[in-house]
Amino acid sequence: MFYKNNPRNHDQTIDAVIQSINDYGFVKPILIDKNNIIVDGEACVIAAKKIGLKELPCIITDELTDDEIRALRLIINKTQDLTSWTFDKLAEELSAVNIDMSTYKFPDLSDINLDVSDEDFLQDTEIVKNREKKTVVCPECGHKFEI
């Protein structure tokens, strides 16, 4: 069963999940609680239903309290938001893949070398105040930006 108060919206994800299931099978189990309510994997279940799958692999977390399940559901979703890409490694990996990855909406990194990192966008006033300004040049238009 779906968790009725799930704060995540999967509308933009389902087509990519369907493509992944079609290409590679269903390879990641759904996490459910002792009441068969989804803790992690709702988008996968929606996608699986859309393509007619009747059975999915599941892991049951029956040792956790209801409060721990609620916290775990939020933590799993939030930790995905906390990750970032190392763009040079991403570009290397994408260029090594000989499969159409357009469904997954990876950025085109083939000609981008801006020398910009997540740290360049920190908004904490002390960090911003105490760091040297950096200039990058847009590879498309040649305009210089100070960040």
CB 111 within 8 A of CB 140: no
All domains of the chain in start order, with CATH = 14-81 (3.90.1530), 85-110 (no CATH), 114-147 (no CATH)
* 41/58 Cα distance (integer angstroms): 10
List, in order, residues 6 or more apart from 128 with CB less than 8 Å away. 122
Residue 130's pLDDT is 64
* 58/38 Cα distance (integer angstroms): 9
Residue 39 corresponds to which amino acid? V
What are the structure tokens assigned to 80, written together? 């995905």
Please report which helix (H) or strand (E) contains residue 31, including its range: strand 30-33
Report the relative pairing of strands 30-33 and 58-61 from DSSP bridges.
parallel
Q: Is the pLDDT of residue 147 over 80?
A: no
Find the DSSP H helices in 51-146: 66-81, 87-96, 125-129
Per-residue model confidence as pLDDT tens digits over 78-126 = 998 888 888 888 888 888 989 888 888 887 776 666 566 666 666 665 5
List, in order, residues 6 or more apart from 121 with CB less than 8 Å away. 147
Per-residue model confidence as pLDDT tens digits over 5-30 = 988 888 989 999 999 999 999 999 99
Backbone φ and ψ for 76, nearest 5 degrees, come out as -60, -45
pTM, rounded to two decimals: 0.69
Closest C-alpha to 77, from 118, 37, 39: 39
